[in-house]
Amino acid sequence: MRILMISIAYFMITRVFVLLGDDIDDQLQSNDIKVVHCTNENFEAIMRNALLFYGPNVDLIQRFLEIHLQVYFERLPGQWLVTVSQTTDYDIYLDESARESRWFCSLNYLKMDIFVVIMRIHFPDSV
């Protein structure tokens, strides 16, 4: 029974994201997002959902990201950095390898002054 309830809850949550997916860009206006460096569409969608549902509370956004990225943490061993900060001043340097990496994603949401980074920072030799 517990597995069934968890499965139903997961199904409902994923359907909400799919149903809201078209509206997320409308609600998070592109002119409110200063910079997005992300080649991983899944990471970007998770970040946008976190901002949509929990912004501007950085603690709730952080928790949301950790929960929804857990599958990546488990399947892709290594060290990960997930950070959410509230700031009014933003500057970043990215070299070309980080900019093109599917394991780096950053977003600066101007409307809430929130900066989010997801990054895999260590790759074990076996992967």
pLDDT at 28 over 80: no
pLDDT at 2 over 70: no
| Amino acid 58: pLDDT | 96
Summarised one tens digit per residue, pLDDT across range 55-84 is: 899 999 999 999 999 999 999 888 999 999
Exposure string of 18-50, with b = 16+ CB inside 10 Å and e = fewer, is eeeeeeeeeebeeeebeeebbebeebbbbbbbb
pLDDT at 124 over 60: yes
The domains of the chain, with CATH numbers, are 2-122 (3.30.740.10)
CA 46 to chain centre: 4
